[in-house]
Amino acid sequence: MTDSLVAALRAVVGDAQVLTDADVLVTYENDWLNKYHGTARCVVRPGTVEETAAVVRACADAGAAIVPQGGNTGLVGGSVPRGGEVVLSTKRLTRLDPVDLSAMQVTVGAGVTIEALQRHARAAGVDFAVDWGARATATVGGAVSTNAGGSRVVRFGTMRAQVVGVQAVLADGSIVEQMHGLPKETAGPYLPAMFVGSEGTLGVVTAVRLKVVPWYRHTAAALVACESVADAVAMLPTLRSLSSLDAVELLMPEAVKVACDHLGIGTPLPVDFAGAFVMVDCAANDDPSQDLARLIGDRRGVMAIGPQRDQLYRIRDHITIAIGAKGTPVKLDVAVPVQRLAELLDEVHDLIAGIDGGELIVFGHLAEGNVHVNVLGAIDCAAEVTEFVLSTAIALGGTISAEHGIGIAKAHWLGRLKGDPTVAALRAVKHALDPQGIFNPGVLFPE
Ligand X SMILES: Cc1cc2nc3c(=O)[nH]c(=O)nc-3n(C[C@H](O)[C@H](O)[C@H](O)COP(=O)(O)OP(=O)(O)OC[C@H]3O[C@@H](n4cnc5c(N)ncnc54)[C@H](O)[C@@H]3O)c2cc1C
d(CA 155, CA 248): 10
Question: Does the protein bind ligand X through residue 90 (CB under 6 A)?
Answer: yes
Nearer to ligand X, 81 or 301 (CB): 81
Please state the closest distance from residue 372 (CB atom) to ligand X, in A. Answer: 8
Long-range contacts of 156-162 (CB under 8 A, 24+ apart): 156/129, 156/130, 156/213, 157/129, 158/130, 158/403, 159/130, 159/196, 160/193, 160/196, 160/197, 161/129, 161/211, 162/128, 162/129, 162/130, 162/210, 162/211
How many residues touch ligand X (CB under 6 A)?
A: 37
Residue 240: C-alpha distances to residues 36, 193, 364 (Å): 39, 28, 17
Question: Does the protein bind ligand X through residue 74 (CB under 6 A)?
Answer: yes
Question: Does the protein bind ligand X through residue 69 (CB under 6 A)?
Answer: yes
Relative to beta strand 85-89, strand 66-69 is: parallel
Within 316-335, the residues that bind ligand X by CB under 6 A are 320-321
Write each residue from 331 to 370 as x if it is in contact with ligand X (CB under 6 A), else as -, in one continuous string: ----------------------------------------
Nearer to ligand X, 250 or 381 (CB): 250
Question: Does the protein bind ligand X through residue 149 (CB under 6 A)?
Answer: yes
Q: According to CB under 6 A, which one of 42, 112, 148, 247 is a site residue for ligand X? A: 148
Contact 219, 309 (CB under 8 A): yes
Question: Does the protein bind ligand X through residue 443 (CB under 6 A)?
Answer: yes
Give the binding range for ligand X (CB under 6 A) out of 61-69, 97-105, 213-221, 380-388. 61-69
Q: According to CB under 6 A, which one of 40, 53, 58, 75 is a site residue for ligand X? A: 75
Q: According to CB under 6 A, which one of 42, 60, 72, 225 is a site residue for ligand X? A: 72
Question: Does the protein bind ligand X through residue 199 (CB under 6 A)?
Answer: yes
Nearer to ligand X, 127 or 249 (CB): 249
Element (H, E) at 354: none
Phi, psi for residue 307 in degrees, rounded to 5? -60, -30
d(CA 350, CA 102): 53
Query: Around 214, how many Cα atoms within 13 Å sit in the side-chain half-sphere?
Result: 10
Residue whose Cβ sits closest to ligand X: 142
Please state the closest distance from residue 293 (CB atom) to ligand X, in A. Answer: 27
287 burial (CB, 10 Å; 0-12 / 13-18 / 19+) is middle
d(CA 71, CA 112): 9
Within 106-145, the residues that bind ligand X by CB under 6 A are 110, 132-134, 138-139, 141-143, 145
Write each residue from 251 to 280 as x if it is in contact with ligand X (CB under 6 A), else as -, in one continuous string: ------------------------------
Neighbour order of strands in the sheet with 359-365: 301-304, 218-226, 276-284, 245-251, 359-365, 370-376, 330-335
Binding site for ligand X (CB under 6 A): 32, 67-75, 78-79, 90, 110, 132-134, 138-139, 141-143, 145-146, 148-150, 199-200, 204-205, 320-321, 403-404, 440, 443
